[in-house]
């Protein structure tokens, strides 16, 4: 998911390291071996070997990435669940923030890296020179790399200086050698000061038991650090604690085993309960498609030119109606679903709209396949079989949560189960019977359908607004400007993708200048950003959003509307230090070009909105399996 | 087909969305891996409190032992450093060995204690060691059954 420009710093670092060292060994060391001592070059050689080993480990080792949470974990987190959860760590209250991209409350010291778009345990920072996050698992390698690198630089520089001093009588034979030595010396002198400074900084951090993230955001400036165990224990922890396993690799490996175990005990069930899923969960679960009416509200849908297939049209409208009904029921988005705009239970309904849109070109080949599968989907749907609907919508929701990429869209046509669009889960069960009969006798005329679709969003506008004004936001926010700015800032994050890379050099030095990047990279959690959450910010941000989407061709426009709004507008606990820099960074960001995610301008039609969100959801990178 | 099995797995995940119980991490002692032993109310009728607590406490013991900084971790650290980390390719770390023990333990607990009560304990490693979840075995079958039904519908069997 990283752009190729993200590889420039790491390539530069690796190239410089290898080239300079090789030149040193080839040109300078023979003379040193003879004239100074054979021990010295061999020491330098060994240190260089360790520097490279640590560099490679820091670059390629998983930093302690948390895999994204399944949707089933969201059960407890309905739309009224708070943005922050307090937990006590050694007597100190620590706030765990809800991560909208990863769908869990971030453990203490965990942070979401916007460059890599995942949450990292004990997040230190994202280092562009190794093009990797530095976290719990690879911090020691990074630290050793720095320390040994500075040591090497020191040695190389000092002794090369000595060499040149001795060679003050230039002989023809040595001219090349002297020149090369001079070049290597200047390179090492150039990098010695920053690397030494960074090494000292990290030495202090390790001794104090802090991460770069915590130091730079000033988390423990006034208070006490609950994660420190004393200098000696801290050093011991960093250097000698066992390396925790790669959790991403283990995800979903043993599901088959679980099924097997469950199957083997099928005879010992106490009682096969009637699936209580629908009645139990319907009241709790708020619908993710709540965001759908928001996007509709922003852009008044004009008449759609749907396919002249009545069956498909009916399905599409049924899904639409369901989503609208649910949006009225519970406006505040639960915010966990990536594709709340996909109200239909089948990808066919969304994809169906796609070819008509500006962005449909990529997906249009799939549409014919969708037509085939559509009629077959009708039967279970028209039965108003709660069970079937439930499972399908569950599966769709889940698969959408899994971040299926666009490449998975072909699968959608074959099987509705893998369709990455379904976001209706429980609320679809609420009105399956109620909705479908309303549409079955509908005249499948084109004009009627378009008129209906036109009316539906319009009708939905007022309930949406009403809902916003009625329900108090469960998210705490101190004042309007800050959350608004944070929501704006989070929305602009997709434009900001290249920013952490460009400013990475700044990041590595502990200065206030790095705070904006830090804020972007660490506090907000997502690549595609969520919209503002909470009533006032929501309105303002949505308004700003609509403007921005039209003017900037931003890919995040509808996608962020569809995403979890829970995290936006959070009271920033480091407001003090960051507010001036936030504004600076926001100004900078406002001039940034649109993000790299391709997105055509969202038109005012409703269908494209859904399809856009569908594609957006499809573009989310799939977690490693 | 391959995507069918994939769907099967996915449906299994989405099976018991309403009835899964999650045991969160206990962060009272900093970021060491420890799960809350507080008995959740949803399991009140399903399993005895003592059995549940014993399972969670044993898991906590396993993880505590895995993350302990002591003799073997020092040895592993120095050895790794000395061999320029090549040792990671050859040897399995202590943590990984204990993880295998944990998954065996969980499997055994499932077979002996939880599956007879219609519950399924999942390995926390699958969720990044953030939660331990108890799922309903009935929902597993439910999801499987409905998947098959839908697949039949789709493929017009």
Contact residues for A71 (Cβ-Cβ < 8 A; gap 6+): A103, A336, A337, A397, A398, A401, A425, B13, B14, B17
pLDDT at B59: 92
pLDDT in tens, A3-42: 788 889 999 989 988 888 888 888 878 877 877 778 888 8
- Which of A243, A376, A399 is opposite residue B156, by nearest beta carbon? A376
Interface contact flag, A240 B122, Cβ < 8 Å: no
d(Cα A484, Cα B123) in Å, to the nearest integer? 40
Name the percent of chain A lying above pLDDT 70.
36
Chain A to chain B Cβ contacts (< 8 Å): 245
User: pLDDT at position A112, please?
Assistant: 93
Task: Give the minimum alpha-carbon distance from B49 to chain A in angstroms, rounded to a whole number.
Answer: 19
Q: What is residue A78's predicted lDDT score, i.e. its pLDDT?
A: 58
Asked if the model's pLDDT at residue A547 lies above 70, the reply is no
* Highest mean pLDDT: which range of A234-238, A616-620, B2-6: A234-238
B8 inside domain: no
Task: Report if residue B127 sits inside a domain.
Answer: yes
Of A43, A18, A17, the closest CA to residue A159 belongs to A43
Which sign, positive or negative, has the C-alpha torsion A269, A271, A274, A278? negative
Mean pLDDT of A44-48: 85
Mean pLDDT for all residues in chain A: 58
Confidence bin at A461 (pLDDT 50/70/90): very low
Instruction: Note whether A264 contacts B15, CB cutoff 8 Å.
Output: no
Instruction: Read off the pLDDT band of A222 (50, 70, 90).
Output: confident
Q: What is the pLDDT of residue A266?
A: 53
Mean pLDDT for A604-610 is 44
- Predicted confidence (pLDDT) per residue in B41-82, tens digit: 888 888 889 999 999 999 999 999 998 888 889 999 999 988
Question: Span A47-56, mean pLDDT?
Answer: 88
Q: Which of A243, A251, A392 sits opposite B150 (nearest CB)?
A: A392
Burial class of A297 by CB neighbour count within 10 A (0 to 12, 13 to 18, 19+): buried
pLDDT tens-digit readout, A379-402? 434 444 444 434 444 333 444 444
pLDDT in tens, A522-537: 343 343 444 334 444 4
- Tell me whether residue B148 is in a domain: yes
Contact B115 A380 (CB under 8 A): no
Residue A358 has pLDDT above 80, yes or no: no
Mutation target among B2, B128, B152 for the A interface, most CBs of A within 10 A: B128
Helix (H/G/I), strand (E/B), else coil: A193: helix
Interface test with B, best of A394, A408, A424, A428 (most B CBs within 10 A): A394
Q: Looking at the predicted structure, is the pLDDT value of residue B105 above 50?
A: yes
d(CA A91, CA B8): 44
pLDDT in tens, A169-211: 566 556 777 777 777 878 888 888 888 889 999 999 999 888 9
Is A588 a residue whose pLDDT tops 60? no
Does the residue B7 lie in any domain? no
Q: Which residues of A are catalytic?
A: 127
Query: What pLDDT score does A325 carry?
Result: 52
B44 assigned to some structural domain: yes
Provide CB contacts within 8 A for A370, sequence distance 6+. Answer: A346, A347, A348, A351, A352, A412, A413
Distance from CA of B109 to the nearest CA of A (A): 11
Please name the helix (run of DSSP H) or strand (run of DSSP E) that holds residue A87, with its range, or none: strand A84-89
Under the banding of pLDDT at 50, 70 and 90, the label for residue A338 is very low
For position A326, what pLDDT does the model report?
52
pLDDT tops 80 at residue A454? no
pLDDT bin (cut points 50, 70, 90) of residue A247 is: confident
CB < 8 Å to A416, chain B: 150, 154
Taking the C-alpha atoms of residue B85 and residue B83, their distance in angstroms, rounded to an integer, is 5
Give per-residue pLDDT as tens, A401-449: 444 444 333 343 343 333 333 333 334 433 444 434 344 344 444 444 3
Q: Which residues of A touch B42 (CB under 8 A)?
A: none
User: A244, A270, A274, A347: best mutation site toward chain B, by most B Cβ within 10 Å?
Assistant: A244
Hey, which residues does B93 pair with through a beta bridge?
none
Instruction: For residue B66, tell me if it sits in a domain.
Output: yes
Task: Using an 8 Å CB-CB cutoff, list chain A residues near B116.
Answer: 265, 268
Domain with B32, as residue range(s), is: 17-155
- Find the farthest-apart pair of alpha carbons in chain B and give their distance in angstroms, rounded: 62
Total Cβ atoms within 10 A of residue A39:
10
- C-beta atoms of B153 and A376 within 8 A: yes
Q: Looking at the domain assignment, is residue B126 inside a domain? A: yes
Among the partner-chain residues B7, B16, B107, the one whose CB lies closest to the CB of A72 is B16
The pLDDT score that the predictor gives to residue A83 is 84
Q: What is the pLDDT of residues A288-336, one digit of tens each?
A: 333 334 444 434 444 444 444 455 545 555 555 555 555 444 444 433 3
Query: How many domains, in total, are found in chain B?
Result: 1
Closest chain B C-alpha to A527 CA, distance in angstroms: 20
> Range with the lowest mean pLDDT among A77-91, A412-426, B10-24, B55-69?
A412-426
Distance from CA of B118 to the nearest CA of A (A): 6
Q: Which residue of A has its CA nearest to B75?
A: A240
ipTM of the prediction greater than 0.85, yes or no? no
Determine whether the interchain pair B126/A252 forms a contact, defined as Cβ–Cβ distance below 8 Å: yes
Does the distance separating the beta carbons of B31 and A227 come in below 8 Å?
yes
In a domain? residue B71? yes
């Amino acid at each position: 998911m990283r752009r190729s420009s993200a590889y420039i710093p790491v390539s530069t670092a690796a190239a410089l390291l290898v080239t300079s060292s090789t030149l040193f060994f080839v040109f300078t060391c023979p003379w040193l071996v003879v004239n100074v001592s054979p021990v010295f070059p061999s020491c330098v050689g060994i240190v260089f070997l360790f520097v490279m080993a640590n560099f490679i480990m820091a670059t390629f080792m998983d930093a302690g990435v948390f895999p994204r949470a399944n949707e089933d974990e969201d059960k407890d987190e309905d739309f009224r669940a708070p943005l922050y959860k307090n937990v006590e760590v050694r007597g100190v209250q620590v706030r765990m923030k809800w991560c909208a991209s990863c769908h869990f409350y971030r453990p203490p010291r965990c942070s979401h890296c916007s460059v890599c778009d995942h949450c990292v345990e004990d997040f230190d920072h994202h280092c562009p020179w190794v093009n990797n996050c530095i976290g719990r698992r690879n911090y020691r390698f990074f630290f050793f790399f720095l320390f040994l690198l500075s040591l090497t630089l020191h040695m190389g520089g000092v002794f090369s200086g000595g060499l040149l001093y001795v060679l003050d009588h230039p002989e023809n034979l040595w001219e090349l050698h002297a020149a090369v030595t001079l070049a290597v010396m200047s390179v090492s002198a150039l990098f010695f000061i920053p690397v030494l400074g960074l090494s000292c900084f990290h030495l202090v951090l390790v001794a104090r038991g802090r991460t770069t993230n915590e130091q730079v955001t000033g988390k423990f400036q006034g208070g006490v650090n609950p994660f420190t165990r004393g200098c000696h224990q801290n050093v011991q922890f960093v250097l000698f604690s066992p390396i925790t396993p790669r959790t991403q690799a283990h995800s979903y490996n043993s599901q088959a085993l679980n099924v097997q175990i469950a199957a083997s005990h099928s005879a010992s069930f106490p009682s096969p309960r009637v699936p209580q899923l629908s009645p139990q969960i319907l009241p709790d679960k708020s619908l993710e498609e709540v965001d759908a009416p928001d996007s509709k509200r922003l852009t008044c849908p004009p008449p759609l030119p749907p396919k002249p297939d009545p069956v498909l049209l009916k399905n599409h409208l049924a899904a639409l109606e369901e989503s609208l009904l649910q949006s009225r029921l519970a406006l505040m988005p639960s915010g966990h679903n990536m594709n709340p705009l996909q109200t239909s239970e089948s990808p066919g309904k969304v994809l169906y709209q796609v070819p008509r849109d500006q962005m449909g070109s990529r997906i249009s080949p799939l549409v014919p396949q969708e037509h085939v599968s559509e009629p077959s989907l009708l039967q279970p749907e028209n039965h108003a079989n709660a069970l079937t609907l439930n499972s399908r919508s569950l599966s769709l929701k889940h698969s959408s949560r899994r971040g299926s990429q666009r490449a998975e869209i072909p699968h959608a046509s074959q099987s509705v189960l893998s369709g990455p669009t379904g976001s209706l889960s429980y609320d679809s069960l609420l009105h399956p019977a109620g909705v479908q009969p309303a549409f079955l006798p509908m005249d499948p005329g084109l004009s009627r359908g378009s008129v209906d679709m036109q009316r539906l969003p319009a009708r939905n506008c007022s309930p949406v607004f009403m809902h916003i004004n009625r329900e108090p936001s469960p998210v705490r926010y101190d004042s309007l400007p800050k959350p608004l700015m944070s929501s704006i800032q989070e929305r602009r994050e997709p434009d900001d993708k290249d920013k952490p890379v460009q400013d990475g050099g700044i990041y590595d030095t502990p200065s206030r200048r790095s705070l904006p990047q830090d804020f972007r990279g660490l506090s907000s959690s997502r690549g595609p950003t969520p919209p503002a959450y909470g009533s006032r910010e929501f309105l303002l941000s949505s308004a700003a959003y609509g403007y921005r989407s039209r003017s900037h061709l931003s890919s995040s426009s509808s996608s962020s509307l569809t995403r979890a709004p829970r995290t936006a507008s959070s009271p920033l606990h480091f407001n003090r230090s960051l507010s001036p820099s936030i504004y600076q960074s926001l100004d900078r960001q406002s001039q940034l070009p649109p993000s790299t995610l391709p997105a055509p301008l969202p038109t005012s039609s409703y269908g494209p909105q859904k399809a856009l969100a569908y594609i957006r959801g499809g573009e989310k990178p799939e977690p490693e399996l | 087909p391959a995507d069918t099995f994939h769907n099967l797995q996915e449906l299994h995940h989405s099976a018991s969305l309403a009835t899964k119980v999650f045991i969160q991490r206990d962060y009272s002692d900093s970021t060491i891996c420890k799960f809350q032993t507080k008995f959740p109310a949803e399991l009140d009728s399903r399993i005895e409190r003592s059995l549940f607590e014993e399972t969670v406490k044993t898991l906590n013991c396993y993880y505590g032992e895995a993350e302990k900084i002591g003799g073997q971790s020092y040895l592993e650290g120095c050895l790794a450093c000395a061999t320029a980390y090549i040792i990671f390719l050859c040897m399995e770390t202590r943590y990984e060995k204990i993880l295998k023990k944990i998954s065996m333990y969980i499997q055994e607990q499932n077979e002996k204690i939880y599956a007879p009560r219609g519950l399924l304990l999942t390995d926390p490693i699958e969720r990044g060691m953030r939660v331990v979840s108890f799922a309903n075995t009935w929902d597993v079958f439910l999801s499987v059954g409905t998947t098959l039904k839908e697949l039949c519908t789709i493929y017009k069997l």
